A and B are shown apart, each in its own frame.
Chain A
């Protein structure tokens, strides 16, 4: 496969590279900048692909003929051209181009950095390459102020949760819009290989996102893939790395088997004594007799392993299962190899990239394998016609054992549910192993039929998470193909037209096999289910641009028409009854289910932008978009969105010119109105009868949820004020932004009284505001030949507030939404500790006056349902998030450290709540923290007595709400560049060996789970983030 691919590449290159045989001589020289010799400068004979790069000492040699023009180019420097004359030596000094001339990709075009009036943060390939991200948006974490990223857990290939500038929606989409090379992306982000990305641009305010109109309210991430450059020599780059991964943080401690047994005895004893009213002695004896029957299993093999006084009679065990050691993969392997070839002639540039990634996850058997390829070609056919074609194909397979959530086989839940007293392999009533006909032990599923002892497990019976890893297959296969072609016509110098057609076809193939003999489909002989969904996106854009300068007045106008078409074609089938090792639907005896549907969505838009500036000093920009969406009724389908923005480059004024402290100062402001129509289904305004509710042979339908026929867009009014300042010859730069976003007409599932038969209706209700400050500081601390040190710090303070509701408030899980409060402030019962008299948990209850209003005083109650729910002043949203990056280069060594941090949020740890249930149900995992339990009247503690009776001790309350501050060393990259003097001898222009560590260190205020869980601050037994350590090398020639 690989060889074939290389063959194709070679062929492709051969077509593009022209080899010249003119009369040549050897030119050599040195290229330097103000600090000294400059390595890596492209040196090329203009109009050819004959070129090279300067070595580490800034030197180059090149064959050229007299009269040729040699072009010297380097990122961030002004390009220099020299004509070859008689001299054989050409020395060149490059000057840094004005940073502000740097061109940035923005909505439907490009702008110079200086002219941007909105809030746009660029994360370029330099930042991406110093991390080891599998899903590309993870690279934003810690590098962009105002962007809150929560990683997805331990399954490689899962995408992070992203929130830009707070949470502007409740039930509609909260994720930003992703745009890849100009077209909205509807595939899975994990199909994009990070090494093929030139930049990730995060558009945050209205002026930068308004051109995305009805989809721009949550911010936009523009992904731009790498391209070749005109007039540059062919560069071949190879990168290869191999690493190992374990868990980023330690999991919750678990009780050892011996203590577990005595504690369980205590819980039964307490229940006998305090609930059933037995005497202490009687309760103890009965508990001793009932212990094994309650647990169902006896790991000790003696009749009553705990005596009537609660002491173990023996510590010899037949088994003692460490489930985590069987489920967690602490030696996961990750390897990645990539190849890219890029370059360009006078008229055509190209980039060809191929990447292979294989990464094992944090749970055994979990794996992600991806091959992605990309070819981008741009060509100037004539002086008036440019065309380009970008295409990519990615195929990936994700082996996705159930590892998170609450299904029985979920590996993470298993560890925190099934204690060590249950065996991995099946045992008979005496505790002896049962073997199959090959003499191998059999996984214990905890439901060995009519076996009185060691046969019936109370928790998760019928399942064995370790067995599930091998007996079930859960595969996600994905194929993503994109093709994107454009033609640009230059009518006159001022007027151009561009037409762009983007096509994306994303195939998702979900495959699930459940074993024919073991597990939850054993009684139907196994089950195979398979889904094949094809998502097709076609985007057509026609864009007219007019750019003209009239003296000091500069004007640019864009007029654009865009059509978006999305089609989802889903097909699924499921069958049961399989022979051993037959895992395809053809082998099924009985079909269980077939399904399929077709969904289309369309969006038609007209948009425009007018940008004006005076003397490149005063900038003014206005954008407008009108969108018609098939998601709404015809009468409310169209929406208008706009923005205005301006900036003033103060440092270009006389009074600041040549200021010694402030080298640059720009002030900017913008306001706009955006929309949100995503994440609400495709026909949310229709109440329908859903098919599929068949009763045997009779077709059946059922009435779906009640709908609001005039449901319309969510709208967000967004304003931004900012300043970009640079000090001391640009050594220190500072960016400050203040933003305020108010989202109105929120699309919300308004709760209805369940007695109406509908639990909610999706309607436009209320508004929510997000506001905050963002800071970014960059400093070039030291910049010398052999020693370089830069630091960048960014952080943001984000606040969230409900500003309007049509009713007093809604309860939503652990939150209650009320005007003036954050969407994410916890509203739960407050834990009041343990009653020292009886060991029962208590909660606070408001004292009410005669009218039923709280007086402000509180009493305690042992009845959970009677306790008052109140705002507890703690939110799941952090007060401040950010990142700190330090880059140090000493000689040939370089080190990059990226920390990200989050302070001020709270998390409700339901996993820990489960571990602290105090044996309410027998046979569930427990925490060693139960050592602090109440034992005798008068004990003062926070942990209630152990009680094997129904109780609310661990019901949702502040008892399990924890502060969730953390600092994480997200990425460490340490490299050594082997000097050119050595690499040059083997024809290599760059050879770098490096160590890359991800999540090496985590300092978190709450232990036992990863601090990154969810926006809402709740947990769901999620698999642990990985800590990855890799070694690799980077080769260029």
Chain B
């Protein structure tokens, strides 16, 4: 009897564990390093955390060194021109203007990265719209989402088709404004720019000047993006207004020539309207082109060199003339010129929109809007700031326009692919001159197909509306 009691108590205690587990035993485990959408859209703070995440995504280590974030889209454009020479390291095939096939990393990255950001912005816009946040919060949050969405549709439009003025009816990448598990068909450039303009005008109207930091989008940033879009569309009155609104309209207060030589790595610079910040604990490390390529005095890739013909455009007293023959090689060697414009560290910030660009956009717009004198004055405002010995030119007409475009190259070199951007929208070619490593083989003719990429094979393989024919004649 006693034995039976002992036996039964052992069984009882063992099975007690089982009983005590209960129903919640399987419900208890929950993710600890992620949150659900009710947290995100339940408060402005939650939605702002989501926006912060997107801003971080812009500079993430996305695919590889040459396909990392927005900065690598811009740098790939930079090396396609005539001003920059890229050593045979990362970006070498972009430099050779030979990197656009459906299976290539450049093609895949640009497509997937842009659409990834767009999907995030769609989630933000629709999630905030459906939330119970106040109307003012909704406007300011959705405005940021729409500006960002427009920026990336703008990149897709630029990277996957001829420029708008070539033929707005040409097929352009699909448009999504909400989550979809099914691929959508190609659209047209016209439809795409309609959405971009709609998003940006909403953003400009709804966004305040205040923001969480200089890496976030406010009214000025939205205007800056809009000004670029208007440049491509040829809407010069719109471009003039947007550009002026972006920098504030007073060149002397937003230019600081001395800071040009500080290494281009500080978001706090008065000339920076928008940039990507980095810190030691939030870095994309060596994936941070242009800095990781242009700085030859800090261990990194040492990839960026400059064409003698480009360097010759600068006067010796121009603060932007930071070129030197660091390697001590003969003039015909492609390594003859390097620049000290960019100082590479893991916490080097990246510029996205600067006041000087917007001043020049306004100048360019004024030129078209029947105010060449105003255009010339704005140009001179920048030139005289950059070079104390500068002499105002006597250019008029087309020469004045060319001078503005050259000034854009001189001001913005290696930052945002300005030479490629201008050649594409003006439907000009790019002819390699000087001491290039890859010369005429990389020339771009006007309206050259090499100005855009083919549609990725992965999209063709998994989108029912897009088949191989999309790349026929591309």
A interface list, Cβ under 8 A from B: 275-276, 293-294, 384, 445, 447, 449-452, 456, 458, 461-462, 487, 489, 491, 497, 499, 520, 522-524, 540, 542, 561, 563, 576, 590-593, 597-602, 604, 628-630, 634, 637, 682-683, 686-696, 698-704, 706, 751-759, 761, 810-811, 864-865, 921-923, 949-950, 952, 955
Contact = CB atoms under 8 A, between A and B. Distances in A.
Contact of A756 (B183, B282, B456): B183
Most central of B52, B176, B279 by chain A CB within 10 Å: B52
Most central of A634, A691, A756 by chain B CB within 10 Å: A756
Nearest to A542: B14
Contact of A294 (B88, B93, B123, B302): B88
B48 A698 contact: yes
B270 interface: no
B31 A688 contact: yes
A636 B451 CA distance: 51
Interface string B111-132: 1100110111011000000000
Contacts of A688: 31, 34-36
Nearest to B301: A461
Contacts of A604: 21, 25-26
Given A384-B7, A701-B40, A602 B52 contact: no
Nearest to B122: A757
Contact of A449 (B49, B89, B280, B302): B302
A600 to B, nearest CB: 4
Contacts of B403: none
Given A629-B26, A701-B49, A689 B39 contact: yes
A517 to B, nearest CB: 10
Nearest to B279: A696
Contacts of A462: 286, 299-301
A694 B461 CA distance: 34
Contact of A576 (B25, B280, B298, B440): B280
B458 interface: yes
Interface stretch (B94-102, B248-256, B353-361, B379-387): B94-102
A118 to B, nearest CB: 28
Interface in B45-99: 48-50, 52-57, 87-89, 92-93, 96, 98-99
Most central of A630, A702, A755 by chain B CB within 10 Å: A755
A502 B202 CA distance: 62
B163 interface: no
Given A497-B11, A699-B49, A757 B33 contact: no
Interface of B: 3, 7, 10-11, 14-15, 17-18, 21, 25-37, 39-40, 48-50, 52-57, 87-89, 92-93, 96, 98-99, 101-103, 108, 111-112, 115-116, 118-120, 122-123, 173-174, 176, 179-184, 212-213, 215-216, 277, 279-283, 286, 296-302, 326-329, 333-335, 338, 344-346, 439-441, 454, 456-459, 461-463, 466, 471
Contact of A700 (B36, B37, B53, B335): B53
9 nearest CB pairs, A to B: A757-B119, A753-B183, A700-B52, A693-B53, A688-B34, A753-B463, A700-B53, A499-B14, A702-B53
A888 B300 CA distance: 61
Given A489-B10, A755-B174, A701 B53 contact: yes
Contacts of A695: 52-53, 55-56, 212-213, 215-216, 277, 282
20 contacts: A276-B441, A447-B301, A450-B328, A456-B302, A563-B17, A593-B281, A598-B32, A599-B32, A602-B29, A630-B29, A637-B26, A694-B53, A695-B55, A695-B215, A699-B49, A753-B466, A754-B115, A755-B111, A756-B115, A865-B457
Given A452-B327, A688-B36, A702 B54 contact: yes
Contacts of A600: 28-29
Nearest to A520: B286
B459 A755 contact: yes
B96 A693 contact: no
Contacts of B176: 755-757
B31 A686 contact: yes
B438 to A, nearest CB: 9
A410 B65 CA distance: 17
A175 B302 CA distance: 45
Contacts of A449: 296-299, 302
Contacts of A692: 33
Contact of A755 (B7, B102, B184, B344): B184
B35 A752 contact: no
Given A451-B327, A523-B345, A563-B18, A487 B459 contact: no
A546 to B, nearest CB: 14
Contacts of B88: 294, 458, 921-923
B7 A489 contact: yes
Given A563-B21, A591-B281, A755-B463, A700 B56 contact: yes
Nearest to B48: A698
Most central of A458, A690, A754 by chain B CB within 10 Å: A754
A489 B179 CA distance: 59
B68 to A, nearest CB: 15
B52 A698 contact: yes
A923 B88 CA distance: 10
A232 to B, nearest CB: 29
A68 to B, nearest CB: 31
Given A702-B54, A755-B173, A865 B111 contact: no
B426 to A, nearest CB: 27
Given A563-B21, A752-B181, A689 B50 contact: yes
A936 to B, nearest CB: 23
B69 to A, nearest CB: 13
A602 B18 CA distance: 13
Contacts of A491: 7
A950 B345 contact: no
A4 B123 CA distance: 63
Contact of A699 (B17, B36, B52, B466): B52
Contacts of B440: 276
Nearest to B57: A702
A497 B6 CA distance: 13
Given A689-B50, A700-B52, A682 B119 contact: no
Nearest to A458: B88
A761 B179 CA distance: 13
Given A489-B7, A523-B298, 14 more contacts: A450-B338, A590-B281, A592-B283, A599-B32, A688-B36, A689-B40, A694-B56, A703-B120, A704-B34, A753-B183, A756-B181, A757-B122, A864-B101, A865-B471
A757 B178 CA distance: 10
B50 A702 contact: yes
A700 B3 CA distance: 63
B118 A757 contact: yes
B26 A602 contact: yes
Contacts of A629: 26
A634 B282 CA distance: 38
Given A691-B33, A757-B115, A461 B89 contact: yes
B461 A693 contact: no
Contacts of B40: 689, 701
Contacts of B25: 563, 602, 604
Contacts of B459: 753-755
Contacts of B281: 590-593
A702 B120 contact: yes
Contact of A698 (B14, B212, B298): B212
A757 B182 CA distance: 11
Nearest to A757: B119
Contact of A949 (B32, B96, B174, B180): B96
A523 B296 contact: no
A855 B253 CA distance: 70
A111 to B, nearest CB: 24
Nearest to A756: B180
A752 B181 CA distance: 7
A698 B49 contact: yes
B37 A597 contact: no
Contact of B28 (A602, A628, A689, A923): A602
